Amino acid sequence: MNMMKPTVSAGRSTIIACANVHARYGRITVVSDVTLDVAAGEMIAILGANGAGKSSLLGAIAGTVAGSGRIEVNGQAINSLPSHKRAVMGLSLVPEQRRNVFAAMSVKENIDLGLRLLPIAEREDQRDFIMGLFPILRERQSAGAGMLSGGEQQMLAISLALGRKPDVMIFDEPTQGLAPAVFDTLQHAFDVLKKRGLAMILAEQNVPFAARVADRYMILSQGSVVREGPGLDLANPEDIAAVFLGSK
């Protein structure tokens, strides 16, 4: 929802730039020294085994986990802001397990809750955009969110996060527990959001799905980056070993 003020480097418009990010719980540091940036229309996948630090890294970027490092969105430093102010600066997190869906409210009420911080004049267009992205939510708009399937709840969680027209979206394992039938819908949604110029960060354990949707990847092991690059090669045993074993 901010005016776009991207930093242009090497012909790409960087929307989010993170430098030397650490994440910690109390005195225990679980993510160390991660540097990444994501351009408009681009998605980076953060891969790694259970406990590698993916969620903690996303939390440090979104401000829900304690951390340090410099984080800029549209050229403005956001790292000293609390999470709700980072959201106002254009950064939206879709947490693990659809935790931000309000089960007792209808689908439409959930979507309207996501839109509440948008100027009133922009809400209808954004609601149409969201329901166009996920037509099943338009069909089911008066259903209780708690009655939706897991895939529909994931769509609703993404819709909530889209409400304030973010410039950056962060997804924490969106395919977790979902039937493969939903993957095509998510892939289509990511393609549309890329065309809109959003910068996206995706944490995933589902490597084949990440390889389908992401433009670049970064592999974490024990909180550190062990490998990064433009495309994951599922036929390359070294790439796969890096994801699951943390080998360099």
Rank residues 48 and 63 by Cβ distance to ligand ATP and give the closer one: 48
Nearer of residues 54 and 140 to ligand ATP, judged by Cβ: 54
Single out the residue of 70, 145, 64, 76 nearest to residue 111, CA to CA.
145
Position among 5, 20, 25, 116 found at the interface with ligand ATP (CB under 6 A): 25
User: Is residue 50 a contact point for ligand ATP (CB under 6 A)?
Assistant: yes
Which residues 129-188 are close enough to bind ligand ATP by CB under 6 A? none
Name which of 2 and 29 has its Cβ closer to ligand ATP.
29
- DSSP for residue 219: E
How far apart CA 60 and CA 64 sit, in angstroms, is 6
Q: Which residues contact 239 (CB under 8 A, 6 or more apart)?
A: 227, 232, 233
Residue 100 half-sphere exposure, CB side, CA atoms within 13 Å? 20
Beta-bridge partners for 227: 219
Instruction: Check residue 56 for interaction with ligand ATP (CB under 6 A).
Output: yes
Q: Does 55 bind ligand ATP (CB under 6 A)?
A: yes
Residue 151 has which token pair? 């895939």
User: x/- contact string, 183-222, with ligand ATP (CB under 6 A)?
Assistant: ----------------------x-----------------
Asked if 51 is part of the footprint of ligand ATP (rule: CB under 6 A), the reply reads: yes
Separation CA 155–CA 101 (nearest Å): 10
Which CB sits closer to ligand ATP, 20 or 76? 20
CB of 185 to ligand ATP, least distance (A): 22
DSSP letter assigned to residue 4: P
Rounded to a whole number of angstroms, the minimum distance from the CB of residue 203 to ligand ATP is 6
| 3 state DSSP class of 8 | strand
Taking CB under 6 A as the rule, does residue 48 contact ligand ATP? yes
Closest C-alpha among 221, 222, 217, 240 to residue 29:
222
Quick check: 54 binds ligand ATP (CB under 6 A)?
yes
Helix 107-115 to helix 150-162 angle (10° resolution) is 20
Task: Please give the Cα distance from 99 to 10 (Å, whole number).
Answer: 38
How far apart CA 229 and CA 239 sit, in angstroms, is 10
Residue 226, phi then psi, degrees to nearest 5: -105, -15
Among 36, 38, 45, 52, binds ligand ATP (CB under 6 A): 52
Considering the rule CB under 6 A, would residue 95 count as an interface residue with ligand ATP? no
**CB 147, min distance to ligand ATP, A:** 27
The minimum distance between CB 204 and ligand ATP, in angstroms, equals 9
Residues at the site binding ligand ATP, with contacts judged by CB under 6 A:
25, 30, 48, 50-56, 205
